[in-house]
Structures are given as C-alpha cells and as structure tokens.
Amino acid sequence: MRGPSTTTMATFKQSFLKNLLSSLKNSKNKAMPTLSERRRAIKSSADIAMATARTGIAGAARWPHAILASSSSSSSSSSSSSSSLPRTTFPCQGKVRRFKSIVKRRTPLMSSSSEVARRLVKRRANVLRRMIPGGELIADEISLLHEAMDYVVHLHAQVDVLRRVSRAAMARRSNASSSSGGLAQLKERTVQISGETENPC
C-alpha cells in the first residue's frame, strides 16, 4: 500500500482550504443561534471541502462520493426520518431469545483457532466498514484497507490544515490585542511624562 506523494497532498491541502473558506463564507448567511449548530455547520463544511478536494485528485476512492451524497440527501430530505416510522412489537420476542440461548448452550464449542481468527477479522472489518463513509458497499478486505488508508491520510491532512488555520487566527488575535495594549501603555506613559514636566521638583 503506497500513500499519495507530497505534491499530491500539497495540492489537496490548497484545494481543501479554498473549498473550506468558500463553504464557511456561504454558511454565514444562515441563521445559527446555538453553539452546537455552528459546530455542526463547521464540521459539515470541513467534510464537504475535504471530499470535494479529494475528487479532484487522480485515484479511485469511494468515501468522497459517499460524503457528498449523504450531505446532499440530508439537506434535501431532512424531514423524513426513521424515528417517524411506527414501532412494531412482538409479544413472543422474549421466548424466542430464550430458545436461542438454550440452543447455543447445547451446541458444542468445536471452533478451531483458524475459525476464531476468521471471525475476529470479519468482526474488525465490519467495524472498519462502519467508520469509513461508504465502507458498507466494499465487499473484500483488501479494497477496504486501501479505502481506509486513503481516508485516514486525507483526514490527517484535513486536521493539519485546520490546526494551521487555528494557529494563524490565534496569532492574529494576539497581535491585535498586543498592539492595542501597546497603544494604551504609550498613552499612559505620555500622561506620566506630561505630569512630570508640568510639576518639576
């Protein structure tokens, strides 16, 4: 498994930052009174910007299309949710579970070490499929590992760009506060000097 080159990642970071700033500029027009809504908007903008930047780079990957598809579907059909569906109750559900547990107890534990390892790999692959956008559609484990590596690499690049943006914003804020504090100290010093010249010893 070979990761993307340095030039490719630099191009991705530039495209991601451009898309992120454009998305955040468009989201300013929307009313978001609470802090949680603003956090969700920033996270959604960062994910969409990352997926859009990845689609512009050579190489087949499914997770960018899955992110863009989920964002478009959630924005278009936000009213239709699974919670509105009626719940179906089964009165004999407890008896069925008890019967299954009895059957499991009576079956002999004849699983070999290879069978245990196969089950463990399958379980971890299922967990990995749930973590990657669009991972449920990937059948074989080799393609799943390639997709996971591509997603983690670009997710790390996204975090790197966001950290640099945060540091730049904090440095700009500290410079602005230090310059205003310097002006205040200069005014106090000039008042002290003027008072000393008016009242010489």
More confident residue, 117 or 184: 117
Residue range 74-97, pLDDT digits in tens: 666 554 544 444 444 444 445 445
Per the prediction, the chain carries an average pLDDT of 77
pLDDT at 169: 85
- The predicted model scores a pTM of 0.66
pLDDT higher at 5 or 47: 47
Which helix or strand (DSSP H or E) is residue 134 part of?
none
Report the pLDDT value the prediction gives residue 179, as an integer from 0 to 100.
Answer: 62
Q: Quick one: pLDDT at residue 46?
A: 93
Which secondary-structure segment (H or E) carries 76? helix 63-76
Question: Which ranges constitute the DSSP H helices of 34-62?
Answer: 35-55
Residue % of the chain over a pLDDT of 90: 35
Is the confidence at residue 15, as pLDDT, over 90?
yes
CA torsion angle for 103, 107, 112, 114 (degrees, to 10)? -20
- Predicted confidence at residue 40, as pLDDT, reads 87
pLDDT of residue 155: 94
User: What token pair was written down for 178?
Assistant: 């230090």
Which structure tokens are listed for 11? 């191009």
pLDDT for the residue numbered 103: 46
Confidence (pLDDT) at 96: 44
**150/187: higher pLDDT:** 150
Number of neighbouring beta carbons within 10 Å of residue 157:
20
